[in-house]
């Protein structure tokens, strides 16, 4: 049996443990500060706030694209916002995969399970499933206590 894990980080700057009950700002900060960290765990609040931030950025970009398209030539607007949209999606890609893998770890599941997201149509359900998984204390085996940020 695995030893009882530390319940979570008490300091939002401590990236070695999940921050249960993270606020929007704390979760987004941890999301970008751990952008390529695939070890360790992420709480449900860290996961959902990060996904919400991503969706809000995409919605804002779409709104700006619509406004901009009405002000200038449609082809120019499509080209500019197509490039901006692509850069934003690529910028969020790695941290989104990383927080999802850490979320799977918090449920004591292998991060390799994330590869299911590459199956068309199942990927939409998988994002919700990852977020709804309960925390499992045995997931502490994915922690690296020697790393604190």
Q: How much of the chain is helix, strand and coil, in % rounded to 5?
A: 65, 0, 35
Nearest to 116 by CA among 107, 106, 104: 104
What's the pLDDT tens digit per position in 60-98? 998 888 888 788 776 777 788 889 889 999 999 999 999
**Parent domain of 97:** 24-138
* Total domains, the chain: 1
Report pLDDT digits (tens) over 110-149.
999 999 999 988 888 988 999 999 899 888 888 876 554 4
**53 falls within a domain:** yes
pLDDT at residue 147, as a whole number: 52
Distance CA 149, CA 146 (A): 10
Confidence of residue 4 (pLDDT cuts 50, 70, 90): very low
Domain assignment of residue 3, yes or no: no
Q: Is residue 116 part of a domain?
A: yes
Give CB contacts under 8 A, 24+ apart, made by 82-88: 85/58, 85/61, 88/57, 88/58, 88/61
């Amino acid at each position: 049996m695995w030893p009882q894990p530390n319940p979570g980080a008490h300091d939002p700057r401590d990236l070695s443990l999940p921050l249960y009950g993270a606020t929007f700002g704390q979760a987004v900060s941890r999301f970008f500060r751990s952008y390529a960290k695939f070890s360790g765990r992420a709480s449900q609040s860290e996961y959902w706030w990060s996904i919400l931030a991503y969706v809000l950025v995409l919605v804002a970009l779409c709104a700006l694209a619509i406004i901009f398209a009405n002000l200038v030539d449609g082809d120019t607007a499509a080209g500019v916002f197509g490039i901006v949209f692509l850069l934003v999606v690529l910028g969020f890609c790695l941290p989104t995969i990383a927080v999802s893998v850490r979320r799977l770890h918090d449920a004591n599941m292998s991060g390799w399970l994330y590869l299911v997201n590459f199956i068309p149509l199942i990927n939409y359900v998988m994002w919700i499933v990852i977020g709804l998984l309960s925390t499992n204390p045995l997931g502490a085996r994915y922690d690296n206590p020697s790393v604190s940020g």
